[in-house]
C-alpha cells in the first residue's frame, strides 16, 4: 500500500471548517483513500473513503486531486467533539489497514 504524509498537528476554531491535508504521491490506480479518526483512548472511527471522485457524507467531505497524489478531509463546521487524531490511509480494497501517526486536530472554543 502507498505511504501517506500528514502534518502532526493542526488547530481549528469551533464552528469553522477544518481542512486536513494528506499527501499520497505514490498511490496506485486501484488504491482507495480512507479517513479514520480516533478520539483519545477510544477505538478509531471510520469517516469516509474515495477512489477518484470527491465524496461527502454526514460527517465530512473528501476532496481528491485530479492526479490523486493528495487529498483533503473537510469537517465543515468543527465542534469541540471533533478533537481527535485523524488518519489518512491508502489501500487496495481488500487489504488490511496501515495506520501512521496521523494529524492531531485540536478544536478550540
Partner 1 sequence: DGGITQSPKYLFRKEGQNVTLSCEQNLNHDAMYWYRQDPGQGLRLIYYSQIVNDFQKGDIAEGYSVSREKKESFPLTVTSAQKNPTAFYLCASSIGGRASREQYFGPGTRLTVT
Q: Which residues bind partner 1 (CB under 8 A)?
A: 34, 41-46, 49, 87, 93-94, 96-102
Q: Which residue, 14 or 59, is less far from partner 1 as judged by CB? A: 59
Q: Which is nearer to partner 1, 49 or 72 (CB)?
A: 49
Nearer to partner 1, 15 or 57 (CB): 57
CB of 7 to partner 1, least distance (A): 15
Shortest distance (Å) from residue 105 CB to partner 1: 15
For 90-94, the CB contacts below 8 A with 24+ separation are: 90/1, 90/2, 90/4, 90/24, 90/27, 90/31, 90/32, 90/33, 90/34, 91/1, 91/31, 91/32, 91/34, 92/1, 92/30, 92/31, 92/32, 93/30, 93/32
Q: CB 100 → partner 1: shortest distance, Å?
A: 5
Amino acid at each position: 500500500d502507498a505511504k501517506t504524509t500528514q502534518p502532526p498537528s493542526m488547530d481549528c476554531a469551533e464552528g469553522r471548517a477544518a481542512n486536513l491535508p494528506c499527501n499520497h504521491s505514490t498511490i496506485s490506480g486501484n488504491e482507495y483513500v480512507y479517513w479514520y479518526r480516533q478520539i483519545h483512548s477510544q477505538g478509531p472511527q471510520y469517516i469516509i473513503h474515495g477512489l477518484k471522485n470527491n465524496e461527502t457524507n454526514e460527517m465530512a467531505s473528501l476532496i481528491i486531486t485530479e492526479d490523486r497524489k493528495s487529498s483533503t478531509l473537510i469537517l465543515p463546521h468543527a465542534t469541540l467533539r471533533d478533537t481527535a487524531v485523524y488518519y489518512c490511509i491508502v489501500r487496495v480494497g481488500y487489504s488490511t489497514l496501515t495506520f501512521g501517526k496521523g494529524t492531531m486536530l485540536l478544536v478550540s472554543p
